Amino acid sequence: MPTRTPVLVVGGGVVGLTTALFLAKQGIPCVLVERHPDLLLHPRARGLTPRTMEVYRQVGLEQPILSAAYAAPGFAWQPVQATTLSDAEYAVPDEPAEDDGAGASPCSYGPIDQDKLEHLLRNKARELGAELRFHTELTSFTQDDQAVTATLTNRTTGATQVLQADYLVAADGFGSPVRQALGIEVDGPGPLFTTMTAIVEADLTAALRGRTVSIAYLQQPRPFTILMVHDDQGRRWVFGTGYDPRSESLADFTDQRVAELVRAAASLPDVEVRLLPQIPGTDLKVLGFPIGAQVARHYRAGRVFLAGDAAHTWPPTGGLGANTGIQDAHNLAWKLALVHHGQAGPALLDTYERERRPVGLLTMGQALARFGSRMGPDAGPALIDYGAVSMGYRYPAGPDGDTTPLLPRDLAGQPGTRAPHAPITVAGRQLSTLDLYGTRLVLLAGPTGHSWVDAAARLDVPVDRHQVTAQVAAAYGLDQDGACLVRPDGFVAWHRRGSVPDPIAALGAAVDTALHRRSSYAQPRSPRQDPNDAAAR
């Protein structure tokens, strides 16, 4: 067992696994600990936005995700409202028709259950070298200027180990013991209600009457009841309903009682209902989840970072929770990697909170708005387009930068925004500009922007260089002699519409600013031979 690791990840859900995966992709050794003996079987999140699919495309998981999907491309999520699933008519939530961003992306919506996604993430993270330890719990930690010192306990044997890490990423959920130990407060309405959930096998097709339902928000047997399809035949479901933990406990929800609740929700008194275990190797059939809305006041404390539900949580309406947490992990991993490799200044890590916390606040408001429209009463701000929330958010470019979300179709290379998708050809292959990003800074120069390409070759930090066609340059808001710098996470760091008198100074300063290095700008050096220098034409 190692006694030191660059990064310790706490929590083996979708966000923790994604963090470990992207660290491993960047060549950063890490150890992930998860207190459960295995991954949950509960589907939880049931879909990935096109932006999240772009993120997983960087590590070769786009096609495996689509192969494991529960529906074909073009699937449309269909929420309905009713008293019971057998109602003669369903209401549809009063929400505007929304653009999820697929039209501005090489990727489509990914209809996959979180449990299946987590298996793909676990396998890929291990393949790339991440060390994942299940049934292992973080029982205490301290930190100083040099390291985080963590005590890990094997829950099978009781054995303990002290592990030092340069950094700790807490992806340990809604209650986040790490966040509580750090004393980080939260903003937002806080807990709204508590729900119990179960995976059930029950043939509810008689209630559906041939209708397509992805998730039903029901009033029976009590408000805040849902039935969510878990197959494409209407015979396996996720059932959930609110309860008050002050007067009820999960132990009160026996198989027989849950079966009666499902029958009442479907208004099918004689249907057979069977509960399935939710954790492999156990008989745990009922889980409880707090449903609330809160965002941590800080995403960083010293060498510890919060991600996913540890940093923010909101109602699951809209499916924005897991997707936002995945983007947290993607944002943080490349920054940890470049600081670890000595290519970026430590201050780069401060931008994680500065960029991701405003996204958390924006998304919490939109999740509350959707929760109000589907389950009532109305709450939260006015709805804005889903694609603007999931893909069009903007990181602040300077102290007075505009952070108003954009529609996906309006993304055109503005600093602080996701770089736009444009078709390109590389070595005879038809790709997207998004396929150029992932591990290093990338310079895109217009077809006559040769001075920018030469300048990038003379910097002391690896920068991939691509001259693009006039059409691609236009998609990025560039003249034919302009250039822009894109970060490893695919967000635009810097943009110059046209040429400048001293491209080395301009680009060097842009690189130093993007990486929070102390030098005024990177010093010129001799061009190098680099196999990643293929031009996109």
The CA-to-CA distance between both ends of the chain, in Å, stands at: 48
CA distance 529 to 343: 19
* CB 278, CB 288: distance < 8 Å: no
Among 56, 109, 167, 217, the active-site one is: 217
Sheet hosting strand 492-496, strand order edge to edge: 463-467, 441-445, 483-486, 492-496
CA distance 353 to 371: 26
Burial class of residue 176 (count of CB atoms within 10 Å of its CB; 0-12, 13-18, 19+): buried
| Cis? peptide before 221, omega within 30° of 0 | yes
Spacing of C-alpha 453 from chain mean position: 33
Tell me the sheet residues that pair with 474.
Answer: none
* Residue 309: CB atoms within 10 Å: 26
Both tokens assigned to 183 = 């004393």
Torsions phi, psi for 70 (to 5 deg): -90, 0
Tell me the DSSP string of 235-272.
SEEEEEEEE-TTT--GGG--HHHHHHHHHHHHT-TT--
The answer to whether 437 is a known catalytic residue is: no
DSSP label at residue 488 = T
Question: Alpha helix locations (H) across 401-487?
Answer: 450-457, 470-475
To the nearest 10°, report the CA torsion of 160, 165, 169, 175. 30
Looking at the annotation, which residues are catalytic?
217
